[in-house]
Amino acid sequence: MTKNTLYLLLTAFTFLISACEDPIELDLGAPVSQVVIDAVIDQTADTQWIYVSKSSAYLNNNKANSYELDTIGIVDTSNFTFYQFTSQNNGKYFFVPPAANTFKYGQTYQLLIRDKGNTFVSQSQLNSPTTVDSLTVKYEKNGPFGGNEGNYITLWAKDKIGLGDFYWFKLYRNDSLQSRASDIRIAVDNSTSQGGSGDGNLFIIPIRQNFSSRPYKAGETARIEILSINPEMYIYLNLIQVQLQNVGLFAVPPTNVPTNIICINNPNQKVLGFFSMVGKVSSEEITIR
């Protein structure tokens, strides 16, 4: 919605007077680098990953530094089983579940980190995934919102029955995640706002339509994962998207995207990032003709 509005406003505006955008250098001080935890764990039998890094200065375009913690893992809060993740010594930690559904729907899990005498925790409930029917390809002469001519993906899937289901749609092109801000697509029930009347229905337009900010070419493959997330994760992704697209005349004051990971022994110890358990379902991969 925000994206559509912004597009329309900008089109109208640039029509008359072309505003100018010039890259600038600005002294933003010497900010403190913080540890970033990226932990999204699903119920499948796939290898599960947690990525740990350090935040970098905003105008530093080198690759972010990785960071090694003392221990990291997740705890099943029903029986206190600890699933420790193994370090690859490059900030990447992995865990291979013995089987699918080792992590159970409806169960709450706790992220547990110990590092330099500090303990960080976070909690997340694993929600069951929805089901997916299929992907179709549509050739659009005018891409969405000024996009190029080409193939765009439509997702045919329905919201779970019951109100308050939150989703994140991850689009893959040739097995690579499309991760531009404009590729972030999320939903509440089958639409974009809570309390809609379309519970259990197909995801509405524009959610189900025009996946990808640039069109697909013949021969490329497409696949969409639907993650059942919790409301906190929805807000988190929404904020990230807003912050990354917060440009131009109608920009809102940039705000920090708040983490859900806290230090229990020292509230002044801050980390960035997010922990979420997700119920994942994936579409069949299709090849564009």
Partner 1 sequence: MKLRLIFTCFVFFISNIVFSQTKYSLSGYVKDTANGEVLANCNIYTEDKKNGTQSNNYGFYTISLNPGINTIYFSFLGYNTYELTIDIKKNETRNIELSRSETEITGITVNKKRRDNQVDKIEMSTNNLNITQIKKIPALLGEVDIVKSVQLLPGVSTVGEGATGFNVRGGAIDQNLILLDEAPVFNSSHLFGFFSVFNPDAVKDVKLIKGGMPAQYGGRASSTLDVRMKEGNNKKFAVNGGVGLIFSRLSLEGPLFKNNEKRKNKTSFIVAGRRSYIDVLAKPFLRNNENLKDAVFYFYDFTGKINHTINDNNKIFFSTYIGRDAFGVPGAKFDWGNSTATFRWNHLFSRKLFSNFTFYYSKYDYQLGFGTGNNTFNWKSNIINYSGKTDFTYYHSPKSVIQFGLISTYYIFKPGDAVSKDQGSTIQFGLPNKYALENGFYIENEQKFSPSLTVRYGIRFSNFNYLGNGTALILDRPNPSQRANVIERKEFGKNEIIQSYNIPEPRFSANYKLNKLSSVKLSYNRLSQFLHLISNTAASVPLDVWTPSTNNVKPQIADQIAVGYFKNIGKNIDYELSAEVFYKELQNQIDYIDGAELLLNNQLEADLLNGKGRAYGLELYFKKNVGKLTGWVSYTLSKSERRVEGISLDQWYPNRFDRRHNANVTGSYEFNNKWSASASFVFGTGTPTNLPNTKFSFQGITGIPHNADGLRNSVYIKPFHRLDISATYVHKKTNKWESNWVFGVYNVYNRRNPFSYFSQPNPDVNNQTQLIRYSIIGNFIPSVSWNFKF
Residue 200 binds partner 1, judged by CB under 8 A: no
Contact 112, 122 (CB under 8 A): no
Among 101, 164, 248, 284, the residue binding partner 1 under the rule CB under 8 A is 248
Q: Is 113 in the site for partner 1 (CB under 8 A)?
A: no
Q: Do residues 207 and 158 lie in contact, with contact meaning Cβ atoms separated by under 8 Å?
A: no
In the complex, what is the shortest distance from the CB of residue 79 to partner 1, in angstroms, rounded to a whole number?
28
Q: Does residue 122 contact residue 262 with C-beta atoms inside 8 Å?
A: yes
Residue 83 in tokens: 């699933």
Distance CA 77, CA 88 (A): 26
Span near partner 1 by CB under 8 A; candidates 15-23, 82-90, 111-119, 151-159 = 15-23
Residue 25 makes contact with partner 1 by CB under 8 A: yes
Nearer to partner 1, 97 or 206 (CB): 206
Q: Ramachandran region of residue 11, left (φ > 0), alpha (ψ -120 to 50) or beta?
A: alpha
Segment near partner 1 (CB under 8 A), from 71-79, 111-119, 130-138, 270-278?
Answer: 270-278
Please tell me the distance from the alpha carbon of residue 216 to that of residue 221, in angstroms, as a whole number: 8
34 binds partner 1 (CB under 8 A): yes
Among 240, 262, 263, 286, binds partner 1 (CB under 8 A): 240
184 touches partner 1 by CB under 8 A: yes
- What are the structure tokens assigned to 111, written together? 């992220």
Q: Which is nearer to partner 1, 55 or 130 (CB)?
A: 55
Nearer of residues 11 and 174 to partner 1, judged by Cβ: 11
Q: What DSSP line would sit under 119-143, residue for residue?
A: EEEEEEE-PPP--EEEEEEEEESS-
263 binds partner 1 (CB under 8 A): no
Tell me: does residue 191 bind partner 1 (CB under 8 A).
Answer: yes
Interacting span for partner 1 (CB under 8 A) from 50-58, 72-80, 130-138, 152-160: 50-58
β 118-125/108-115 pair status: antiparallel
Q: Which is nearer to partner 1, 97 or 147 (CB)?
A: 147
Verify binding: residue 250, partner 1, rule CB under 8 A. Answer: yes
Length of the chain: 289
Q: Which of residues 69-108 bind partner 1 (CB under 8 A)?
A: none
Whole-number Å distance between alpha carbons of 251 and 245: 8
**Using CA atoms, how far apart are residues 127 and 107, in angstroms rounded to an integer?**
8
The one-letter amino acid code at 27 reads D
Give strand pairing partners of 168: 186, 227
State the nearest-atom distance from the C-beta of 250 to partner 1, in Å: 5
Q: Which of 216, 274, 279, 281 binds partner 1 (CB under 8 A)?
A: 274
Taking alpha carbons only, the member of 238, 237, 243, 208 closest to residue 224 is 208
Complex with partner 1: residue 79 or 193, whichever CB lies closer: 193
Sites for partner 1 among residues 124-183 (CB under 8 A)? 141-142, 146, 177, 179-181
CB of 237 to partner 1, least distance (A): 9
Q: Which is nearer to partner 1, 73 or 144 (CB)?
A: 144
Question: Within 10 Å of residue 140's Cβ, how many Cβ atoms?
Answer: 15
